[in-house]
Structure 1
């Protein structure tokens, strides 16, 4: 049987509001999540709404480079 090419890629998602606040005010931290995406189907950077414990609300988390 032929071997499959691994299309799953591990990505880091980082809160965009925490990044903005850390530059202005010195935030306590930056919320990050680890997830996987299919690199063939979604070549663009991933953005999801996730809960940020530092902002204490649901915010947009964008993909960052490792």
Structure 2
């Protein structure tokens, strides 16, 4: 069962990316390094609550 999630930048707090994940396989919240256009660098993006 895949659900849509929003990835939020850990530094500036902007919601930059929308993606999906399988809740049965990946039990923890996603943490991915992605590009933040506001900071103009790669930062940690965490799944929004």
- How many residues in Structure 1 have an aligned counterpart in Structure 2? 49
Question: Once superposed, which parts of structure 1, at least 4 consecutive aligned residues long, lie more than 2 Å away?
Answer: none
Give the corresponding residue for 2:31: 47
Match of 1:8?
A: 2
TM-score (structure 2 length as normaliser) = 0.91
Cα deviation for residue 43 of structure 1 reads: 1.2
Q: Relative to total residues, which structure has the larger helix share, 1 or 2? A: 1
Q: Which structure shows the bigger proportion of residues in strand conformation?
A: 2
Look at both structures and tell me which one has the larger radius of gyration over its CA atoms: 1
The CA RMSD over aligned residues, in Å, is 1.0
Unaligned runs of 5+ in 2: none
User: Are the counterparts in 2 of residues 10 and 36 from structure 1 also a CA contact under 8 Å?
Assistant: yes
